[in-house]
Structure 1
Amino acid sequence: MNAIINGKIILPNEILEDHIIVYEDKIIDIIHKDNFDSENINIIDAKNNYVSPGFIDIHIHGSMGYDTMDGELESIENISKSILQNGVTSFLPTTMTMDMKSIYRSLDTVRNAMNIKIKGARVLGAHLEGPFISPKYKGAQNSNFIEKPNYELIKNYIDVIKIITYAPEEDKDFDFLKSILQNKDITLSMGHTNASYEEALEAIKKGVTHSTHMFNAMTPLHHRNPGVVGAIMSSDITSEIIADNIHLHRGIYEIVNRVKGSENIVLITDAMRAQCLKEGKYDLGGQEVIVKNNSARLLDKTLAGSVLKLNEGVKNLYKNTTLKLYECVKLASANPAKVINIDDIGSIEKGKYADIILFDDDIKIKKVIIEGVVKHENN
């Protein structure tokens, strides 16, 4: 049995002091320090750092030189180890719009990673970003491999896929949506879409519950044409944001908070393989990417994912909004868990897995614990 002492414990709605977390693979109890008996218990001293639920990145392509589309278990494992330093304890390896053979190979690899004890952050499933997207809002996706939404193309991977990013206006009579919604474990997300305001609202009415990197790669808000952004703002669907101060202006964070509410915002990185590495030339989905000044762009200057670390996203949000720290943490933990319908992670509560991180006032990660086991330490 283990215990964490001398920490400021971040709960869903408050920060708790003078308490101790007792855990094995799951959290056993949170008790006042005066009621704690340390006999036969392994003690971790938090040294007045914050004790937080582990972060969950539901949209990440790669890190440390590796990418989901490599289609190699070694790549997934190295991504999982790399993102520990950012406080991520579980994630969805995210695909790109490439040929279906490459996508299938990557999904097969994610399936394998889900079924082994991986060395780093836990693999929860896959985020299928493309190929069912709009050519007009393809962003850094390769237009040569875009497909119309087609359930037959992915029906053999329903057990792996947790989120599908797609363009609902390309879905004739919402046939794809209807097929997907027969499986309650898959979340449909609007993204890389040229939908009108009306089409987006209809998709939400039919069952789309999430949006991919809000504002980016979708029809914008205009007072005479509200677009997908307007539909997101006027509904209660959850919305990803990339809080790297590049994809979005710092002022947008507070606007989104006031319009959507902290319960409906999810912090993601959309990171590509250059995350945690130096500036230079890389690739994303087979296209060359230049990383410079914390920005990843194709040769035509199109943003190509990010090099954001999730703990830095939490920090950027905390510095630039009225959100309290525990609310910022929720956007990177409980909220993404809710999006993918997983309820045994995402917060520090009795009975949930002991996926716990320790970080300092600057949100620099000091320790990472997954299912009760210390996976990363940084003194």
Structure 2
Amino acid sequence: MIIKNAKLIYLDKIEEGSIKIENGKISKINPEVLEDDVVIDAEGLYLSPGFIDVHIHGAGGRDTMEGSLDAINTIAKSIAEHGTTSFTPTTMTVDRDEVKKAIAAIAEAKSVGTDGANVLGAHMEGPFINGEMIGAQNPKYLAAPSIEAFKYMAGDHEDAVVSVTLAPEVPGAKELIKYLKEKDIVASMGHTKATYSEAMEGIKCGVCHATHLYNAMTPLHHRDPGVVGAIFDSNITTETISDGIHISYPSLRVAYKQKTLDKVLLVSDAMMACSMPEGEYSLGGQKVIVKNGAARLENGALAGSILTLDKAVKNVKDNSSYKLHEIVKMATYNAARHCKVEDRKGKLQEGYDADVILFDEDININRVIIGGKEIFNK
């Protein structure tokens, strides 16, 4: 298959060109067209690596915490239509046996594949977090951080855990952070009440990422820099929910300027109502009301989002002066690096997986190809 007449989005530029896809890989950039080639004319659309979402709880009416291959598969199909070609299904602070079941289902989906986006592994958000920064997590199931508790929940699938969100100031967290670092699992700080110095101590122990910047963490104050200050004052990566609800656009621009676009990932933090009508849903066993584009618990706390990554890219494009290829990098290559798959995903390069998408100036997704197979065609 050859896709021609496209604007190819590279890490550092956008250029007109074409790609050849063979055996699930990008075999050639700007190939010669042969007589028997199947040719798709992109008619000037953008051709980008597929988006990678490292923080997503659900979509299409299904939730990662259902702990089934069927639920993960539905989520994978639903988000693929919005240009997401890989993701890490994200667990919640719930009963530890439910977390264990969900991680087993994620590991199965990673191993057998889905009918949509690739599963790269699990993101465990909680239960090792601070109850004073609970957000939409369930306080009933908070657990003290320990290697033993983590191993129990990961079960036989520790190698399928990509990242763990925890609060570095909670007793026991430092030991777990060091263990995760040894195992090459991303330790991310989030849902945390840490002071600046506690956050920096966590970074010294191995925290290398921060979950949903600004949300559920101590803010930046000029005499008390908090977790946000530690993120800005270190070289760890972070992520933003760029829906205009979780973070105002001026605060987003400040973060991108401070961290640089190399250090930020665009994530959805979407829950089961993503790509569904507004109404009542649930997250981590708690009732969620989706109204006016926001998902909230009954107490008004934001409960994830209904964002998709195509919309996140569009929101940043419409509310900043960054170039499109710079924004796309935050939704592709930076996330691939986070998941340690940047040697095969996240950019347009010969030999890389043929997870590619076509979209227009308004980031409306036109076609989605995953592993060389067309998954969606508008």
Could you state the TM-score of these two structures normalised by the residue count of structure 1? Answer: 0.96
Corresponding residue number in structure 2 for 1:113: 109
Aligned-partner SS, 2:169: helix
Counterpart CA distance in 2 for 1:348 and 1:52 is: 7
Corresponding residue number in structure 2 for 1:371: 371
Corresponding residue number in structure 2 for 1:22: 20
1:87-113 deviation per Cα after TM superposition (whole angstroms, max 9, x unaligned): 000100000000001111111111111
Corresponding residue number in structure 2 for 1:67: 63
Q: 1:302 to 1:173 in 2, by over 3 A?
A: closer
Corresponding residue number in structure 2 for 1:103: 99
Corresponding residue number in structure 1 for 2:212: 213
Q: Say yes or no: does 1:199 pair with 2:195.
A: no
Corresponding residue number in structure 1 for 2:301: 302
1:189-215 deviation per Cα after TM superposition (whole angstroms, max 9, x unaligned): 000001100011111122111000000
Q: Which runs of 5 or more structure 2 residues have no equivalent in the other structure?
A: none
* 1:318-329 equivalences in 2 (<5 Å): 318-329=317-328
Aligned-partner SS, 1:148: coil
RMSD: 1.0
Aligned-partner SS, 2:159: coil
Deviation at 1:312, TM superposition (A): 0.3
Aligned partner of 2:21: which letter? Answer: Y
Aligned-partner SS, 1:164: strand
In the alignment, is the contact (CA less than 8 A) between 2:287 and 2:298 conserved in 1?
yes
Counterpart CA distance in 2 for 1:129 and 1:188 is: 10
* 1:255-294 equivalences in 2 (<5 Å): 255-294=254-293
Q: Which runs of 5 or more structure 1 residues have no equivalent in the other structure?
A: none
In the alignment, is the contact (CA less than 8 A) between 1:3 and 1:23 conserved in 2?
yes
Deviation at 1:37, TM superposition (A): 2.7
Counterpart CA distance in 2 for 1:312 and 1:198 is: 36
1:101-131 deviation per Cα after TM superposition (whole angstroms, max 9, x unaligned): 1111111111111111311101110000000
In the alignment, is the contact (CA less than 8 A) between 2:146 and 2:172 conserved in 1?
no
Aligned-partner SS, 2:337: helix
Deviation at 1:154, TM superposition (A): 2.5
Aligned partner of 2:261: which letter? Answer: S
Counterpart CA distance in 2 for 1:112 and 1:229 is: 36
Q: Say yes or no: does 1:338 pair with 2:337.
A: yes
1:195-247 deviation per Cα after TM superposition (whole angstroms, max 9, x unaligned): 10001111112211100000000011111110000000011111110000000
1:150-170 deviation per Cα after TM superposition (whole angstroms, max 9, x unaligned): 111232331111010000111
Corresponding residue number in structure 2 for 1:315: 314
Could you state the TM-score of these two structures normalised by the residue count of structure 2? Answer: 0.97
In the alignment, is the contact (CA less than 8 A) between 1:254 and 1:322 conserved in 2?
no
Deviation at 1:41, TM superposition (A): 1.3
Aligned-partner SS, 1:255: helix
Counterpart CA distance in 1 for 2:172 and 2:280 is: 39
Corresponding residue number in structure 2 for 1:180: 180
Q: Say yes or no: does 1:151 pair with 2:151.
A: no
Deviation at 1:173, TM superposition (A): 7.2
Aligned-pair identity (%): 45
Q: Say yes or no: does 1:91 pair with 2:90.
A: no
In the alignment, is the contact (CA less than 8 A) between 2:145 and 2:173 conserved in 1?
no
Aligned partner of 1:362: which letter? Answer: D
Deviation at 1:171, TM superposition (A): 4.1
Aligned partner of 1:295: which letter? Answer: A
Counterpart CA distance in 1 for 2:349 and 2:47 is: 12
Aligned-partner SS, 2:109: helix
Aligned-partner SS, 1:200: helix
1:305-331 deviation per Cα after TM superposition (whole angstroms, max 9, x unaligned): 000111000000111112110011110
Counterpart CA distance in 2 for 1:27 and 1:244 is: 32
Q: 1:173 to 1:346 in 2, by over 3 A?
A: closer
Q: Provide the aligned length of Structure 1 versus Structure 2.
A: 372
Aligned partner of 1:223: which letter? Answer: H
Corresponding residue number in structure 2 for 1:50: 46
Greater shift, 168-177 or 316-325, is seen at 168-177
In the alignment, is the contact (CA less than 8 A) between 2:89 and 2:119 conserved in 1?
yes
Aligned partner of 2:345: which letter? Answer: I
Aligned partner of 2:70: which letter? Answer: E
Q: Say yes or no: does 1:139 pair with 2:135.
A: yes
In the alignment, is the contact (CA less than 8 A) between 1:171 and 1:177 conserved in 2?
no
Q: 1:268 to 1:173 in 2, by over 3 A?
A: closer
Counterpart CA distance in 2 for 1:194 and 1:349 is: 42
